[in-house]
Amino acid sequence: MSALQPSAALAIIATCWIFRDLLERDPVTHVLIQLPLLALAGAALASAVVPHHRQPASGWNAGGVPMLLLAIFTIAFWMLPRMIDAALIDDWVEFGKFITVPGLIGMPLVLGWRQAHPLLRGFLKAQAISMLGVMAFLYTHAPLRICNAYLVADQERLGLGFLAAAIALAIIWTVAVFTGQGQGSAIQNMQPTRP
């Protein structure tokens, strides 16, 4: 399984590169498909390079905070409309996107998430939903073009895409809490282990 992960990650990155003109023609596919796919590729690489059972529970990444902060700041950087525009007109920025999104978002998210306390995970999930909601409001209500490379109608569709993503994540994560799927409920994870 882990041997397939690097190949799958490289295939995702290569596909995003080959079809970058098509994906970047529309802000919805650029921001909500290409960028998440690149982050997913980085996550797959992290899972292959540092398997869960080999990641130490203590050390510089204890609690996952350093890696999660790196990922959060990089996400914030690539959510700037100016950087979205720059990736379309500057080849070096475009190349940097293909390096930093997998390497500084996907990989750190996996490595940090594994170490994060359940309360921190819940907080970050709530922040992600609220950030998507704010972005949805911004892109649907801005009277001017936020991204110069796209039309106002395009950015309104992107705003609706952010709203759809926020609703989808809210439903998925709420269902997971009530069904105890994934990592288990926060209450179960917070209970101390007994010898």
pLDDT of res. 41 = 96
| CA proximity to 107, closest of 184, 59, 172, 41 | 41
Alpha-carbon span 4 to 8, nearest angstrom: 6
Alpha-carbon span 62 to 75, nearest angstrom: 21
Taking only the tens place, the pLDDT of each residue in 24-74 is 999 999 999 999 999 999 999 988 877 665 566 566 777 889 999 999 999
pLDDT of res. 47 = 82
pLDDT of res. 186 = 41
Taking only the tens place, the pLDDT of each residue in 81-128 is 999 999 999 999 999 999 999 999 999 999 999 889 999 999 999 999
Alpha-carbon span 124 to 69, nearest angstrom: 11
Alpha-carbon span 113 to 128, nearest angstrom: 14
Band of pLDDT at residue 178, cut at 50, 70 and 90: confident
* pTM listed for this prediction: 0.84
> What are the residue boundaries of the structural domains of the chain, listed by start?
4-51+61-181
